[in-house]
Structure 1
């Protein structure tokens, strides 16, 4: 299949269609991604078009990555941080015909997964996300600009939900009444977070904010973690963003698109592997307050995602792509079930956490 890529994009990095092979790759829904294979080099590169509908300030992303890359290079030079390749003019991004592009080095002999198959993969992924945060423990997170303001702000997401609820048609509110009731009853999760949010030992850290399994590279043969990728959302946040998102996406064998809610269960062995991997890197720097909130991180992120799906359904499905009209409602049901499962297994899950905090 012929790929229609603007030659000026390639020119920005010193290439032409004649001296490079181009393949479109990736399963991501946000940025278009290509694999570039220069005919005269052994190296390969990843070329991405940045979706400015989602990331409205691409330069902020570029500035964030440069600041972190410079810090990592000076303090942990052996750590593999995927820094963008500069254009021929020395810029962090290429701006061509009103579109932003960036090039990244391709990491050979690695793989990224769309689905977790075993506990080792969960452990290795969690360990890699924890390692990046640990290495950036002394980096001043306030130097970073949010690439998506309010991304993991539960107060904002609840406010958006209540606004959608006040304007939604009666038909949609009727279809989703049990989930609306669930969302309102579980507001205690937001209130609980607020009671902790101003503690001095609950700091903002450098967080990835999108810790799904596909954002970690694993060694092709050993499946050990190599590095973290897809760093667009790296910005200041609470540790619960990363660990909570891992709990949301690693613990159930089925995604939020599963409509058979009997299948939505917590895999205890995957919970243990995730917590063990993350805390193997992070427990030495977590504060006492953060240690108290390890399990809560899962509740926070699952509740927030349930709210976001429900809000989108009430708004008429304007954000998340859907295959049928009630899909976002089904996704919300899925997430509320996962949240219930987390609460139902709370004692056993907390015991696992305590064992790994020792």
Structure 2
């Protein structure tokens, strides 16, 4: 067990430590909530995380990214008359004024001020939740639209470099480390048939047709805090993967995860399709917030971003399956293959509905003018 009191003593917290306990459902970092009492005032809570430095190998650069982005957002929210205490994550520095604490055992810790009267949901309980997440991520894009994205470090290099992901897939096919290649030839052919898709957005970036932006890169519903009283999305959290990227990454991953009719690992593929109603709802919220900050080319390629992020994710699941399930945690035999097939089924459905997706984007853009 973590020595909560010792860890708490390393940060500039207010009040007297009471107790700490595990918090949330994260799969990468270890997250805890710590409680502190104050005389004549309500107790305070802080989030403390032990950062997984096996995944995030350059913790100083990661924390420098988060500090730069949250400081920038704080100014934007303040200028707009908002409440940065609720709308932006606030890093609590260590007693020696550092962004993280590195203990003698090699572990890295950081602390944030706990945002009260807010909740993050693990699944969409009603469509309004998805709409609010769209507005929150769109607002995130808008507020960071003039941030110099090139100054951020890639916390996970080539995270959404789909061309590099494709090369890793081909290497996994050739190596066939787990002896599974023959059993997934259909899925291998599916990926190879779409090889040209992997470079489309990267080529647009290289030619200057779309800009480099600050992207969150993990735009699931549970990375948005919703205000308990109003239900509005107020704060984007989990900033570990904030780095240079394309707006299509954030938009596309939201659609991949949130507009699917089924779970990511559904085995009955007849249940898997992309819900156009949820696609439209997310488009509406996203473009209401950042539509005027995106270029026309960026907007035109939003449906492609949804397809590409879904394709990339499926390809990563297939790559890991071929390699013997060494990256993604599995909970049953062929779990990664099931995940892969679900993503590819979504891709096929998006291809069938692509013209409708384009029409929805144009309609949402027109409504936001």
Question: For the superposition of Structure 1 and Structure 2, which TM-score range results when normalised by the shorter chain?
Answer: over 0.9
Residues 15, 68 of structure 1: alpha-carbon distance in 2 compared, 3 angstrom cutoff: closer
- 1:183 match: 191
* Residue 94 of structure 2: aligned partner: 87
Greater CA drift, 18-27 or 294-303: 18-27
Deviates further, 18-27 or 46-55? 18-27
2:22 to 18, 21, 24: 24
Equivalence for 2:73? 72
Instruction: Tell whether the 8 Å contact from 1:219 to 1:226 is kept in structure 2 after alignment.
Output: yes
SS in 2 for 1:19: strand
The 8 Å contact of residues 127 and 278 in structure 2, kept in 1 or not, is answered as yes
Structure 1 residue 273: Cα displacement: 0.8
* Alignment RMSD: 1.8
Q: Does residue 1:161 correspond to 2:162, yes or no? A: no
Q: CA deviation at 1:30?
A: 0.3
Q: TM-score, normalised by structure 2?
A: 0.92
Structure 2 counterpart of 1:334: 342
Equivalent pair of 2:178/2:324 in contact (CA under 8 Å): no
Answer whether contact 1:119 1:269 (CA < 8 A) is retained: no
1:135–1:141 CA distance, 2 compared to 1 (3 A): same
Give the match for residue 229 of structure 1.
237
* Range that drifts further, 340-349 or 105-114: 340-349
Report the alpha carbon displacement of residue 166 of structure 1 after superposing the two structures with TM.
0.5
Contact 2:4-2:34 within 8 A present in 1 as well: no
Q: Which residue of 2 aligns with 1:320?
A: 328
Q: Kindly provide the CA deviation profile for residues 67-90 of structure 1, in whole angstroms up to 9, marking residues without a partner as x.
A: 123323334323421021011111
Superposed displacement of residue 142, structure 1: 1.2
**How far does residue 343 in structure 1 lie from its aligned partner after superposition?**
1.1
* In 2, Cα distance between equivalents of 1:131 and 1:308: 29
**Which is further off, 39-48 or 178-187?**
39-48
Counterparts of 1:202-241 in structure 2 under 5 Å?
Answer: 202-241=210-249
Q: Cα offset for 1:266? A: 1.4
User: Distance between the aligned counterparts of 2:65 and 2:90, measured in 1?
Assistant: 11
Does 2:144 match 1:146? Answer: no
Q: Give me the whole-angstrom Cα distance separating, in 2, the residues matched to 1:350 and 1:15.
A: 49
Note closer, same or farther for the CA distance 1:193–1:4 as it changes in structure 2 (3 Å cut).
closer
Native 8 Å contact 1:247 1:274 kept in 2: yes
**1:346 shift after superposition:** 1.5
8 A Cα contact 1:21 1:39, kept in partner: no
Report the alpha carbon displacement of residue 146 of structure 1 after superposing the two structures with TM. 1.0
Unpaired runs of at least 5, structure 1: none
Q: Give 1:19 shift.
A: 2.6
CA contact (8 A) 1:201 1:288 kept: no
How do 1:199-348 residues align onto structure 2 when only pairs under 5 Å count?
199-348=207-356
Secondary structure (helix, strand or coil) at the match of 1:283 reads: helix
Shift of the alpha carbon at 1:170?
8.0
- How many residue pairs match? The answer is 356
Cα distance, 1:170–1:111 mapped onto 2, change above 3 Å: closer
- Relative to 1, partners in 2 of residues 1:170 and 1:110: Cα closer, same or farther, differing over 3 Å? closer
Alpha-carbon distance in structure 1 between the residues aligned to 2:123 and 2:314: 21
- Find the aligned partners of 1:95 and 1:220 in 2 and give their Cα distance: 35
- Secondary structure, counterpart of 1:113 in structure 2: coil
Unaligned 5+ residue runs, structure 2? none
